[in-house]
Amino acid sequence: MLALGMMSGTSMDGVDAALVDTDGETIAGFGRGAFRAYAPEERAVLRAGLGKWPGGDGVAAVAAVVEAAHAEVAAGFPEAELVGFHGQTLAHAPRGRGTHQAGDGERLAAALGRTVVWDFRTADVASGGEGAPLVPFFHFACARRIGAERPVAFLNLGGVGNVTWVDPRAAAPEAAGALLAFDTGPGNALLDDFLAARRGQAFDEGGAVAAAGRVDAAVLARLAGHPYLARRPPKSLDRQDFHAFLDAVAGLSTEDGSATLAAVTADCVAAAARWFPEPVERWLVCGGGRRNVTLMRMLAARQNAPVEPVEAVGLDGDLLEAQAFAFLAVRVLRGLPTSAPSTTGARLPVSGGRISRPRDDRPSTRGSSGSGRRASLAD
């Protein structure tokens, strides 16, 4: 079926949307995509909601922005038979209060007049999983589509970095040994926040600011001792978990601080590779970080395999996560797993997500572990 996936990531720059023709197991084809940027005032509302849980101050305002933006984007894809809606992550503490993605799929289904799959993470957390990352099952299908014959790594550098080790020789993504996935550490969030505070810039375009600076080796060595890096996967992060790192670079120039924070991201990725079951033949990078030339150079210097943007194999690095939630929406509709012990640490493979149909009085649930608690302002 032709499914539309929509993603508003931890970078909070806007809504990505993409069509995928899929049965939830293989990818028959990719359709068109779109991006709807958040206006500065909308982004300010989203930032004010960071760290907040359902019912918290500002959460309703975040949900209103998120739902309106997604409805606007989805209206431009009338051909979509199904909509996958991720929502906006405001807080993520799988060993604590759970996970919170603002935005109500039931309201979105009513607004669009189409079936919406949403709240993808709660069921996984209820099953003992980290609730993230969820894109690995899609990465498995992508590895098959590009004809990979040996293990490859998909590295997503959004606000938080995450990696998927894929063995395309496995029978299915939930099979033992098919996948290993986890958050690596900071992606672009630290560098974005640093530059926003110093210069009012949303990001380091092309890595130019970092390129003009020098990495402070002493600061880098101190940050390398973060306990998260020593934790065995599966593991996941909240966008704010490494925010204290900004204090460590507060005394550096803007250029040196940017270079050091980019090196932190690259070092975290290098540390992640030690957990792989076997070496990969290539790294395929998606997300905004792949456009940071300085960061990509740092990544390549720390790996024994080529580090390339996913465009090198014919994929779209801007739309990959949106495409993933189109793919996952179809899997939820079919009752297929969307996560597994090797990707999130859930006890068993989980089909996590709520299904809201426009004429339903309340959303129905599909999945092997139940829906858990709805993670939206409707609480």
Q: For the whole model, what pTM was predicted?
A: 0.88
Give the range among 161-165, 214-218, 365-369 with minimum mean pLDDT: 365-369
The domains of the chain, with CATH numbers, are 2-133+319-365 (3.30.420.40), 148-313 (3.30.420.40)
Give the range among 30-34, 93-97, 118-122, 163-167 with minimum mean pLDDT: 93-97
Convert the pLDDT of each residue in 240-258 to its tens digit.
888 888 999 999 999 999 9
Token readout for 201 is 């810039």
pLDDT at 222: 86
Counting beta carbons within 10 angstroms of the beta carbon of residue 170, is it exposed (0 to 12), middle (13 to 18) or buried (19 or more)? middle
Of the pLDDT bands very low, low, confident and very high (cuts 50, 70, 90), residue 224 is confident
Asked if residue 184 lies in contact with residue 163, where contact means CB atoms within 8 angstroms, the answer is yes
Of the pLDDT bands very low, low, confident and very high (cuts 50, 70, 90), residue 158 is confident
Asked if residue 204 lies in contact with residue 288, where contact means CB atoms within 8 angstroms, the answer is no
* CA–CA distance, 22 with 289 (Å, rounded to integer): 27
Q: Tell me which of 372 and 175 has the higher pLDDT.
A: 175
Kindly report the average pLDDT of the chain as a whole number. Answer: 92
Convert the pLDDT of each residue in 171-192 to its tens digit.
999 999 999 999 999 999 899 9
Convert the pLDDT of each residue in 291-325 to its tens digit.
999 999 999 999 999 999 999 999 999 899 999 99
Of the pLDDT bands very low, low, confident and very high (cuts 50, 70, 90), residue 12 is confident
pLDDT at 368: 36
**Within 13 A of 220's CA, how many CA atoms are on the CB side?**
17
pLDDT at 214: 98
Q: Tell me which of 372 and 103 has the higher pLDDT.
A: 103
- Which neighbouring-strand residues pair with 20? 3, 30
Of the pLDDT bands very low, low, confident and very high (cuts 50, 70, 90), residue 359 is confident
Residue 360 has pLDDT above 60, yes or no: no
Residue 96 has pLDDT above 90, yes or no: no
* CA–CA distance, 195 with 91 (Å, rounded to integer): 23
pLDDT at 361: 44
Residue 165 has pLDDT above 60, yes or no: yes
Tell which residue, 378, 336, 377, 313, has the closest CA to residue 91. 377
Asked if residue 332 lies in contact with residue 170, where contact means CB atoms within 8 angstroms, the answer is no
> What does residue 68 show for φ and ψ, rounded to 5 degrees?
-65, -45
User: Angle between the 254-272 and 189-199 helix axes, to the nearest 10 degrees?
Assistant: 170
Alpha helices in the chain (DSSP H): 40-48, 59-74, 105-112, 122-126, 136-145, 189-199, 208-211, 217-223, 245-248, 254-272, 293-301, 320-334, 341-344
Tell which residue, 342, 345, 336, 343, has the closest CA to residue 353. 336
Provide the 3-class DSSP secondary structure of residue 64.
Answer: helix
pLDDT at 370: 33
Of 72-86, 121-135, 211-225, which one has max mean pLDDT? 72-86
